[in-house]
Structure formats: C-alpha cells, structure tokens
Amino acid sequence: MPVTLFYSYAREDEALRDELEKHLSPLRRQGIISSWHDRRIQPRVEWAQAIDDQLNAASVILFLISPDFLASDYCYGREMRRALERHEAKKAIVIPVLFRAIASK
C-alpha cells in the first residue's frame, strides 16, 4: 500500500511543486507513494470538500513553505491547523519543506 502524500502549498509555488513531484516520480512509479494536490480536483467537485477529504486521508502532509504560503489564510489557517491536529493525534506525519526563503530582520 503506497504512502499517501498531500501537498499543502500556495498557488504562487505551483511550478516548484511540479518540480518536487518530478523528483519524487521514481517513488510513485515503484508504488511507494501516491500524491495529491488541488490541481487534481475534478470538474463539478466542490473544491473545499475535496481538499478536506484528501487532507484527512493522507498519511504524509508536505507543507511547501514560502512567504506566499505563510500569507495564505487558507494554507496557513485551515490546512495547517487540520494537518497539525492529525499530526498530534499520530494519524499523519507533517513535513515542512522550505521552498522559498522567508525574509527575517
């Protein structure tokens, strides 16, 4: 049974997410992982429910961290909150991936 990955990312980072998927494609081909992100939502499917369903089913949740991710109320608020709840309940593993540097003063 493959490990199910959920990509939590800001739309502005879609190209970087695609690159990460390319790097993980050998694992997908071998049946080690399966992955999901919001671009896989089918037409006429309610997008928020589709995201919630996949987020609740994933065994690994990747936070693709960038300034846009942190600025997104949906990513930072809704997806991160639910993912961390699942992580604390030991129902999923959350892995933050620094995609783009976040400026510090």
Stronger pLDDT, 89 or 101, i.e. the higher one: 89
Query: What percent of the chain stands above pLDDT 70?
Result: 97
pLDDT per position as a tens digit, 39-62 = 888 778 788 888 888 899 999 999
Query: pLDDT at residue 103 above 70?
Result: no
pLDDT at residue 104, as a whole number: 63
* DSSP string computed for 76-104: IIIIHHHHHHHHHTTS-EEEEEE-S----
- Residue 90, classified by CB atoms within 10 Å of its CB into exposed (0-12), middle (13-18) or buried (19+), is exposed
| Structural domains of the chain, ranges and CATH numbers in brackets | 3-98 (3.40.50.10140)
Q: How far apart are CA 98 and CA 65, in angstroms?
A: 5
pTM: 0.88
